[in-house]
Amino acid sequence: MEPDDTKLQFDDDGNLRHLLSLRDFDATLLTRLMDEAEAYLTAPGALPARNHSLAGRTVGNLFFEPSTRTRASFDLAGRRLGADVLNLDVNTSSRKKGESILDTIYTLEAMQVDIMVVRDASDGVPAYIARHVKDHVSVLNAGESDVSHPTQGLLDLLTMRQHNPDFGNLAVAIVGDIQHSRVAMSASEALRAMGVGELRLISPPALIPDASRFPGAVIVDNLADGLRDADVVMALRIQRERIGNLDGIPGIDEYFANYGISHESMKLAKPDAIVMHPGPMNRGIEIEGTLADGPRSVIAKQVTNGVAIRMAVLSRIGKMMSAQ
């Protein structure tokens, strides 16, 4: 996202028009979105929340990178708000035949798709599309290269708030391939806006990020230093698909021994600390399987919160559209 793209996200009245990044979100907006999402959560076993706030709208899911949970989550969120949802099959899409992304977008616009949910491996694609769509169309970033994954950042924030709403007293440790992680980027933008007590980013030396991308965070390459007395521990996958040269990247056993989140390494964190992972997870590499399935894990909660957060974002976009 370029500096002037800030204006792109909000309309003249300050309403959310496109969701490209959390960079410019303040605590008030983040809190409102989390509150709106909470209203969509129902008790286990109860039917999921539904309304008609997107009735008549069409959501297009354009995932030009693999996805299971984010795509399914946007799909369900759109349907539960009464929208038609179109899931574009990337393997058979005309982009494979060399069609430009804008031609794909203009084709969908011509079919009256008015909310485009986009995932792409290149930087700047969601903002580029947002700059070219018609005035009544909204673009939601569902994962952009290693730059931004705003709905993931929101759902992670909500999951942390459910554990402890006092962000100022929270120590959050994110462990793994920070350098290539859009999840770490969006989470850190959201946490900074909420005034998080401490954000620690832990990764092997070869995957240490550029500190200027994470202002205020403590960056370490030693797991014990990062985990000590943490309230929240989030494990991340090594983004092998984004790493050109794997030299210096630890192998599986070495990685688990030094950076794996396990029952053993969690002894360093606070006794009630929660364990998070955005998925897809590699058991036995970045996280011990029984820990991921155990009582400290909120991984399934993250997924549930993901649908609620996407419903909150979509219904806000729907309201903005109806007011136009």
Nearer to ligand NCD, 23 or 182 (CB): 182
Query: Is 8:20 a contact under the CB 8 Å cutoff?
Result: yes
d(CA 124, CA 298): 31
Site pattern 220..239 for ligand NCD (x: CB under 6 A): -----------------x--
Question: At residue 239, what is the residue type?
Answer: Q
Spell 171-187 as b/e; 16+ CB within 10 A means b. bbbbbbbbbbbbbbbbb
Supply the minimum distance, in Å, between the C-beta of residue 74 and ligand NCD: 11
Supply the minimum distance, in Å, between the C-beta of residue 208 and ligand NCD: 18
Site pattern 119..158 for ligand NCD (x: CB under 6 A): ------------------------x-----x--x------
Supply the minimum distance, in Å, between the C-beta of residue 302 and ligand NCD: 8
278 lies in the site for ligand NCD, by CB under 6 A: yes
Q: Is the Cα dihedral 125, 117, 34, 320 positive or negative?
A: positive
279 lies in the site for ligand NCD, by CB under 6 A: yes
Least Cα distance to 62 among 32, 21, 91, 24 occurs for 91
Site pattern 7..46 for ligand NCD (x: CB under 6 A): ----------------------------------------
Site pattern 168..187 for ligand NCD (x: CB under 6 A): --------------xx----
- Binding-site size for ligand NCD (CB under 6 A) equals 10
Supply the minimum distance, in Å, between the C-beta of residue 143 and ligand NCD: 5
Three-state DSSP state, 113 = coil
Supply the minimum distance, in Å, between the C-beta of residue 281 and ligand NCD: 8
Nearer to ligand NCD, 68 or 290 (CB): 68
d(CA 64, CA 241): 14
Query: Is 39:309 a contact under the CB 8 Å cutoff?
Result: no
d(CA 219, CA 260): 17
Question: At residue 305, what is the residue type?
Answer: N
318 lies in the site for ligand NCD, by CB under 6 A: no
Binding ligand NCD (rule: CB under 6 A), the pick from 21, 61, 70, 179 is 70
Reduced 3-state DSSP string for 211-254: HHHCCCCEEECCHHHHHCCCCEEEECCCCHHHCCCCCCCCCHHH
Q: Is the Cα dihedral 122, 282, 78, 110 positive or negative?
A: positive
Q: What's the token pair of residue 196?
A: 């998080």
Supply the minimum distance, in Å, between the C-beta of residue 136 and ligand NCD: 28
Nearer to ligand NCD, 141 or 265 (CB): 141
Length in residues, the chain: 324
Binding ligand NCD (rule: CB under 6 A), the pick from 69, 132, 242, 283 is 69
CA angle 54, 55, 61 (to 5 degrees): 55
Supply the minimum distance, in Å, between the C-beta of residue 152 and ligand NCD: 5
Nearer to ligand NCD, 235 or 274 (CB): 235
277 lies in the site for ligand NCD, by CB under 6 A: no
Chain positions contacting ligand NCD, by CB under 6 A: 69-70, 143, 149, 152, 182-183, 237, 278-279
